[in-house]
Amino acid sequence: MKVLIIGSGGREHTLAWKISQSPKLTKLYCAPGNAGTAIVAENVPIADNDIAGLKDFAVKNSIDLTIVGPEIPLVMGIVDEFEAAGLKIFGPSKAAAKIEGSKIFAKNLMHKYNIPTAEAIVYEKVEDALNFVKKVGTPIVIKVDGLAAGKGVFVAKDQKEAEEAVKRILVDKEFGAAGNKIIVEECLKGEEVSILAITDGETILPLASAQDHKRVFDRDEGPNTGGMGAYSPAPIATSELLNMVQEKVLKKTVAALKEAGIIYKGILYCGLMMTASGPMVLEFNCRFGDPETQVILPRMKNDLLEVILSTLDSRLSTIALDWDPRSAVCVVLAAGGYPGNYEKGIEIKGLDNVKDGVVFHAGTKAVDVKITTNGGRVLGVVGLGAPLKEAIRKAYDAVKQINFDKMHFRKDIGAKALK
């Protein structure tokens, strides 16, 4: 089979790495890809939001299957466009992808169908939002409605932080049209966990659990990022908890969308807070998580290509997922200054020195014989081991082999699980 993977981050390199192991594969492309995907696939210089260009490439090159990594093309409707052209593509439709594209849509869906989530109110005016914050007090959570690359969520600890968040979104327009409306919601207390599931609209198969680390600094301090690391499985995700999520969240969400005339096919990502009263949904994503994918797929024993084809052919019920019992830990190496301003074009050294681990490229670029930085999150370094402590050791041992100027990473990835 000829396969095209859309995207250029660590998630897409992980997908390419996993798909390249399938005996069904004959040729793999990645658009636009990065220096890592170039090792296992042929990079194609087409942006991930250039739907017309991607569709034209898929038609001309007789692509048998396209796998969409990032959320933007999904929210734009790439699946609908490809299917209209008779092309097979993995991901939810434009209508289904709205579950990530609009937090207001997702929140309304959850409230209507009694899917556990925080109470929230939508605002468009600064004064109204600030008056509400003053009334209910802090801590409180403020979110932009649209896509913001994982950076549009503010957990305000006091009135000053809340006012600053509202101003950045509604006045300064830091997030553009994505922040035309904001959601102000109660601040849930507990531990976060990510549960991703693959579904063909009927059968729902949860993937291995994972826990992301969103804050840029150790001890969960500093601003939110796209993710500074992850580990899988998450000890907090017991079999009892997973059954609860399957019944109260996954099944109810897929059924609610179906009742609205939307058949959800693809990955449904649930960001959950494990509260004293049970799991509560923080957010939904319509695709593989990043960096969760970097710790989930290395543990998957199945042929991912076969799993995806079974989903598209509505025969997911014939699949049983099989997992490596070892833990996986991913440490993200970021550019200095991320998630704020950062430099690009810095040479990365030591990649060939990593022997016991897997390095997934994210923001990288090949320049002549050098690999340079080309984004905020540069690399994801993964270690596998049992117990979890061994996976952590292997990941950080591999990190020691790599360096680039102003390289930044958290030193406590997985520490929560050890407690």
Report the alpha-carbon distance of residue 382 to residue 236 in Å, rounded: 21
pLDDT number for residue 133:
86
Q: Residue written as tokens 């540069």?
A: 378
pLDDT in tens, 309-318: 999 999 999 9
Rounded to 10 deg, the angle between the 94-101 and 251-259 helix axes is 130
At 408, list the tokens: 């930044």
Span 46-87, pLDDT tens digits: 999 999 999 999 999 999 999 999 999 999 999 999 999 999
Tell me the per-residue pLDDT of 265-319, one tens digit each, with 9 for 90 and over: 999 999 999 998 889 999 999 999 999 999 999 999 999 999 999 999 999 999 9
Per-residue pLDDT for 152 more than 80?
yes
The listed CATH number (3.40.50.2000, 3.40.50.1970, 3.40.50.720, 3.90.600.10) that belongs to domain 328-418: 3.90.600.10
Q: Give domain 191-318's CATH superfamily.
A: ATP-grasp fold, B domain (3.30.470.20)
CATH number given to 125-180: 3.30.1490.20
- pLDDT for position 403: 97
- The one-letter amino acid code at 344 reads K
Read off the pLDDT of each residue in 231-251 and give the average, rounded to a whole number: 94
Check for a shared fold between 2-91 and 125-180.
no
The CA distance from 102 to 91, in Å, is 17
- Residue 286 gets the label, from left (phi > 0), alpha (psi -120 to 50) or beta, of alpha
Q: Of the candidates 171, 152, 160, which has an alpha carbon nearest to the alpha carbon of residue 134?
A: 160
* pLDDT value for 419: 80
pLDDT of residue 71: 96
Give the span between the Cα atoms of 158 and 152, in whole angstroms. Answer: 18
pLDDT band, residue 415 (cuts 50/70/90): very high
**Residue 402 CA to its chain's centroid (Å):** 24
Q: pLDDT (tens digit, 9 = 90+) per residue, 316-334? A: 999 999 999 999 999 999 9
Tokens describing residue 108: 């309304």
Tokens, residue 337: 């200054």
Tell me the one-letter amino acid at 2.
K
Q: According to the model, what pLDDT value does residue 252 have? A: 97
Taking alpha carbons only, the member of 311, 318, 302, 309 closest to residue 264 is: 311
67 bridge partner residues: 5, 90
In angstroms, the CA 66 to CA 298 distance is 21
Residues linked to residue 5 through DSSP beta bridges, in sequence order: 30, 67
The set of residues, in sequence order, having a beta carbon less than 8 Å from that of 367 and lying 6+ positions away, is 345
**Can you read off the two tokens belonging to residue 42?**
């042929």
DSSP label of 235: T
Token output for 297: 């797929």
Q: CA-to-CA distance for 369 and 364, rounded, in angstroms? A: 13
If one counts every other C-beta atom within 10 angstroms of the C-beta of residue 187, the result is 16
Residue 150 has pLDDT above 80, yes or no: no
Whether the CA torsion 9, 170, 213, 239 is positive or negative: it is negative
What pLDDT score was predicted for residue 3?
Answer: 98
Domain segments of the chain as ranges: 2-91, 125-180, 191-318, 328-418
Q: Is 400 exposed, middle or buried (0-12, 13-18, 19+ CB in 10 A)?
A: exposed
Reduced to 3 states (helix: H, G, I; strand: E, B; else coil), residue 388 is helix
- Tell how strand 215-217 and strand 221-224 pair up: antiparallel
* 2-91 is classed CATH 1.10.260.30: no
β-strands 364-367, 370-373: how paired? antiparallel
pLDDT confidence tier of residue 151, bands split at 50, 70 and 90: confident
User: What does the alpha-carbon distance between residue 136 and residue 162 come to, in Å, rounded to a whole number?
Assistant: 12
Tell me the pLDDT tens digit for each residue of 153-196: 899 999 999 999 999 999 999 999 999 999 999 899 998 999 99
Q: With a cut of 80, say whether residue 137 has pLDDT above it.
A: yes
Higher pLDDT, 127 or 312: 312
Q: What pLDDT is stored for residue 149 in this prediction?
A: 78
Cα 194 from Cα 234, distance rounded (Å):
9
3-state secondary structure of 383: strand
Q: Encoding tokens for residue 338?
A: 């991320």
User: Following DSSP, what letter does each residue of 141-191 receive, concatenated?
Assistant: EEEESS--TT--EEEESSHHHHHHHHIIIIIS-TTGGGGSSEEEEE---SE
Provide the pLDDT confidence category of residue 224 given band limits of 50, 70 and 90.
confident
At position 22, the amino acid (one-letter code) is S
Mean pLDDT of 91-119: 96
Q: Report how far apart the first and last C-alpha atoms of the chain are (Å, whole number).
A: 45
pTM (two decimals): 0.94
- For CA atoms 134, 137, 140, 145, give the dihedral sign: negative
Q: Mean of the pLDDT values across residues 346-373?
A: 96
Percent with pLDDT over 70 in the chain: 100
**Rounded Cα distance, 81 and 87, in Å:** 9
Tell me the C-alpha to C-alpha distance, in Å, between residue 286 and each of 7, 63, 173, 219: 14, 23, 25, 28
More confident residue, 133 or 85: 85
